[in-house]
Amino acid sequence: MRILVIGAGAVGGYFGGRLAAAGRDVTFLVRARQAEVICEHGLRIVSPHGNLTLHPKLILAHEIAGFYDLIILCVKAYSLDAAISDFAAAVGPGTIILPLLNGMRHLDLLTGHFGEETVIGGVCFIAAELDKDGCIIQLTGIHRLVYGERTGGNSARMDSLHQVMQGAAFEARTSDNILQEMWEKWVMLASLGAATCLMRANIGEIEAVSGGAELARAILGESSAISTACGYAPGAAFLARTEKMLTTRGSTLTSSMYRDLSKNAPVEADQILGDLLVRGRKLGVATPLLEAACINLRIYEARL
């Protein structure tokens, strides 16, 4: 299976790098500057599961020749339009696009360009970031991919994809209800992002003050209410895990959006919070805390 990974940042570089190290036929579609850095220093991963440096196959957009079997899309949502233009020539009749973006808006954009059949559902769970030298730093031990047909159930191509993902030094599984899992991750990301960005603090700092834990629970309640109104009620086990994550005493957990904000970098405010709020408003869901967090982030973005 010929695999094209779009982006060699924290997510694409990590999972694509692990696949390449496991002997899969992986090529990274990158920008010229990133290609220079990787050619000079290698693709470097620092991880609790073992460090890795490799010199993978790289390609620029104008160098694409022929179709790929699998495209793993790992860009920030605000870069999606440009990425679609870059990798469009790699999409053929049998290509599978596995997007690992946050939220749900990207599905409409991708299926509009490439058709319903080409795009499957996917979520990734990893806390990682690039350091100042372009090295991928995995911040916790979690590294998991979940993928499945958006229509539900299993298929022969999911079986083939699953076989490719096995033995690559990260957890990987198929899901017969991937949209539910995507919505639950969205609820988690929106809640964690809204709490940490609105309060400019990690979870332990929020929990430590009077009313902090209650605020985090209320934000989770708003996110869950939107998901439920949209037909994807979060499961009880998911809600219990997420509430614990948002209220753990002494936790240093933050969201990737908060880490980006702390670096004065662009954030995915509209993709993680804005789109969720639009869906909630259409269904009459009251979400004052999420609204406040989203406005706060839009003010931040306007200052960049």
CA 78, 80, 85: angle at the middle one, nearest 5? 140
180-214 b/e (C-beta count within 10 Å ≥ 16 → b): bbbbbbbbbbbbbbbbbbbbebbbbbbbeeeebbe
pLDDT of residue 54: 96
Q: What residue ranges define each of the domains in the chain, with the CATH number in brackets?
A: 2-176 (3.40.50.720), 181-303 (1.10.1040.10)
pLDDT of residue 115: 96
pLDDT of residue 304: 86
Low-confidence ranges of the chain (pLDDT < 50): none
The answer to whether residues 194 and 276 touch, using CB atoms and an 8 Å cutoff, is no
CA 58, 63, 69: angle at the middle one, nearest 5? 70
The answer to whether residues 115 and 202 touch, using CB atoms and an 8 Å cutoff, is no
User: Catalytic residues, which ones?
Assistant: 185
Nearest to 294 by CA among 255, 259, 267: 267
| pTM, to two decimals | 0.93
List, for residues 58-111, the tens digit of each pLDDT value.
999 999 999 999 999 999 888 999 999 999 999 999 999 999 999 999 999 999
